[in-house]
Structure 1
Amino acid sequence: MGAFLNKPETKKYNETGEGNGLRYGVASMQGWRVEMEDAHHAQLTLNGTLSDWSYFGVFDGHAGARVSAHCAENLLECILQTDEFRREDIAEAIRTGFLDLDKKMRELPELSNGQEKSGSTAVCAFVSPKQIYIANCGDSRAVLARNGMPIFATRDHKPELPSEKSRIVQAGGTVLIQRVNGSLAVSRALGDYEYKKVFDRGPCEQLVSPEPEVSIHERSEGEDEFLVLACDGVWDVMTNEDLCAYVHSLLQLTDDLVAITNQVIDTCLYKGSKDNMSIVLVVFPAAPKPNPEAQKADRELDATLRQRLTALIEQNASTDDGEDSSGRFTQVLKQLVQEKIPGLPPGGGLAAKQALLDKIYREFYPEHPDSAETFECQELADGFDNN
């Protein structure tokens, strides 16, 4: 939804913190979209008796940023204020909190004037000393990893899912081109009140439902590595398995979570993501630590890439085909993709090394811009994805 820029906006917002035995890093980037509609919330310590609880959330807005920003600011408090939370029925409290927030937002003057069309998906997690509570509404996704593999992932709420399609049809809607009434690509979201006008049906029986799916996971101190919450701009180009393998490998190179989350969304950009991107990475004590062997292998890979790219540049230098440096760079990368370089980061592939390749190429052609600004070749993106 929405138009694209002529080149992506790659400036990032970052955040990091440590507490309650957890570390977290956040990275968000506007990318190719004409505006940034994502929002997030990360809080290591909750108030009062919940000082050993943490909360994280990612909110992916569409048709505007107003709803996602409001959700990021208010969802946590809506959940904490429920009677269910006071009774320690956490899963039901989360569900009730989502519904309460959606109802309260509908009554806000800035959202009830009929002009505001925005909505937002949401994925959030409460981490207590013994459990992890994960909730999602829409197609932002959470993945919990052990041993570099996903052991749980939330389900994206898409209109074509049989249960979602059934609700949409019963509410008088249709699913066309995998969208609600041919327009909205998610079947659950907060806001989107133009899809919530069937007044003889409850809030969870509308064309678009604000109801989250909630799951509970017992923590395993010796096995839990990390939890990822991210919007669909990440998942559009990364499978659960790829992202877990990639983050696992990056944690063996550095303990800088900002650097890791930045690297993930940059890699997704190079893989062809056209959306806003936001990721929250929550790291548990059993996560991999930086180790000399992995760092040495990464340096050796960089040396191999430098050698091969340099050879290809020199090989192509004698051919004057009239292309500018960006066009020649794309052609060289296509050749490099075909070589199937061994030892590339799992899940990241050659796209994970795009910044290095840019740097090397600029040594030969100083006028060459960052490929993030010129990367429009889907064939090359597909090659990165398959390398």
Structure 2
Amino acid sequence: MANVYLKEAIRTMETSSGTAANYEYASTSCQGWRNTQEDVHLILPNFDSDTSLFAVFDGHNGIEVAAYVAKYLPEYIRQNRKYKRGRVSEGLKEAFCLLDGQLLLVDAVNELRAIRRQAHPELPEYKPGITSGCTAVVCLLKKDTFYCASIGDTRCVLCRNGKAFPLSIDNKPDDANECARIMKAGGEVVHGRINKLINVSRAFGDHMFKMVPNMSTIEQMIIPLPDVIIEPYIESTDSFMVLMCDGIWNSMDNSEVIDFVGSRIQKKMPLAKITEEVIKNVLPKEMPPSGIKGKDNMTICVIKFKGKRGGVGSTNMSAMPRTTVRGNNGPNKHH
């Protein structure tokens, strides 16, 4: 297998920033020590009339699935009938599953191949979407409510009362429910990896793990069905939100990231500089001799709330309960 690491890290950072009506945002990505950049992210302030979308997609074995999903998932969500009818959590789950099935169609496969050839001309082609995939975290801020859907181990963390408040759940093969499903589908979990190969249990793509006959989409070893956390935005306590891939949180845990970002916001540092400071803090000057810290692609998005969002004030948001909609409570079959 080709070496996945470079002799010298690529330290170039791609940073963007902007301002919306009720928040400002910045994002930074860096390839780092990996021989390819496989992260993609989205910030769509005007996703629909009352909703913003924030997302990070972390590819593995190529960028093609992450790039494809980033291109098409927003429209899959926007056009979903359940989403249009206000059943946001159900709409997110259905959109994830429908788009994942789309990856097997001829037109999609051809597009995946084209993305891979353009992004990774030096790498073997393999079977895009079969041997490659991506994790995802997608957070909708709809009026005054967060709807955060996630598969795999990309994360969304809110700063609430100055502390880390997770809006996503990691899906790992050695989690009890995930392991039980994997084993029922004929797989095994060894050292936290399915069949010794992959260390996430939910993802787009990776269809080599989704081909067990007579089992539904959500019964396979790897599934695209997200957990969805529904949480009110509380103006008095919620100051900013971070979306990040595991290349960040492998080196800094949720609390460390929130403290790092929060302390610099208090010092009035521009958000774009803060996101770059996170990357600099994580990316080592020399290749670590062992472990995974500091070796992966790195992407972080920070959304800083201005405070006065439309709708807040008419409802006592602090009295609204947190809701977690686990993916395994979804429908049994997706067509």
Give the shorter-chain TM-score range: 0.7 to 0.9
Equivalent residue in structure 2 for 1:66, among 43, 64, 67: 64
For 2:206 and 2:67, the matched residues in 1 are separated by 14
Compute the RMSD of aligned alpha carbons.
Answer: 1.8
For 2:166 and 2:153, the matched residues in 1 are separated by 15
TM-score under structure 1 length normalisation: 0.71
Bigger strand share: 2
Q: Which runs of 5+ in 2 are unaligned?
A: 114-124, 286-292, 309-335
Deviation, 1:255, is 4.2
Cα offsets for 1:221-251 (capped at 9, x unmatched): 1211111111000010111111111111010
| 1:222 aligned counterpart, secondary structure | coil
Q: For residues 238-387 of structure 1, what are the structure 2 equivalents within 5 Å?
A: 238-270=252-284, 272-286=293-307
Cα offsets for 1:244-272 (capped at 9, x unmatched): 11111010223411111011111111394
Which structure has the higher relative contact order (CA within 8 Å, separation 6+)?
A: 2
For 1:151 and 1:277, the matched residues in 2 are separated by 21
| 2:199 aligned counterpart, secondary structure | coil
Partner of 2:20: 19
**Residue 156 (structure 1) aligned with residue 170 (structure 2):** yes
Q: Which runs of 5+ in 1 are unaligned?
A: 288-387
| 1:31 aligned counterpart, secondary structure | strand
Q: What one-letter code is carried by the residue in structure 1 that aligns with 2:109?
A: P
For 1:4 and 1:253, the matched residues in 2 are separated by 36
Deviation, 1:109, is 3.0
Partner of 1:82: 80
Q: What one-letter code is carried by the residue in structure 2 that aligns with 1:24?
A: Y
Partner of 1:180: 194
For 1:75 and 1:121, the matched residues in 2 are separated by 13
Cα offsets for 1:24-58 (capped at 9, x unmatched): 10100000000000001111112xxx333110100
| 1:169 aligned counterpart, secondary structure | helix
| 1:45 aligned counterpart, secondary structure | strand
For 2:222 and 2:39, the matched residues in 1 are separated by 19
Partner of 2:29: 28
| 2:46 aligned counterpart, secondary structure | coil
Q: What one-letter code is carried by the residue in structure 2 that aligns with 1:199?
A: P
| 1:163 aligned counterpart, secondary structure | helix
Partner of 2:109: 109
Larger Rg: 1
Aligned residues of 1:58 and 1:230 also touching (Cα < 8 A): yes
For 2:162 and 2:248, the matched residues in 1 are separated by 18
For 2:166 and 2:32, the matched residues in 1 are separated by 28
For 2:162 and 2:144, the matched residues in 1 are separated by 21
Equivalent residue in structure 2 for 1:126, among 136, 140, 149: 140
For 2:17 and 2:57, the matched residues in 1 are separated by 18
For 2:242 and 2:177, the matched residues in 1 are separated by 26
Aligned residues of 2:247 and 2:296 also touching (Cα < 8 A): yes
Cα offsets for 1:326-361 (capped at 9, x unmatched): xxxxxxxxxxxxxxxxxxxxxxxxxxxxxxxxxxxx
Runs of 4+ in 1 over 3 A off after TM superposition: 111-114
Aligned residues of 1:223 and 1:286 also touching (Cα < 8 A): no
Aligned residues of 1:153 and 1:240 also touching (Cα < 8 A): no
| 2:86 aligned counterpart, secondary structure | coil
Bigger helix share: 1
TM-score under structure 2 length normalisation: 0.81
Deviation, 1:185, is 1.0
Aligned residues of 2:22 and 2:307 also touching (Cα < 8 A): no
Deviation, 1:285, is 1.9
Aligned residues of 1:43 and 1:55 also touching (Cα < 8 A): yes
Residues 119-128 or 144-153, more deviating: 144-153
Q: Name the count of aligned residue pairs.
A: 284
| 2:103 aligned counterpart, secondary structure | helix
Q: What one-letter code is carried by the residue in structure 2 that aligns with 1:192?
A: D
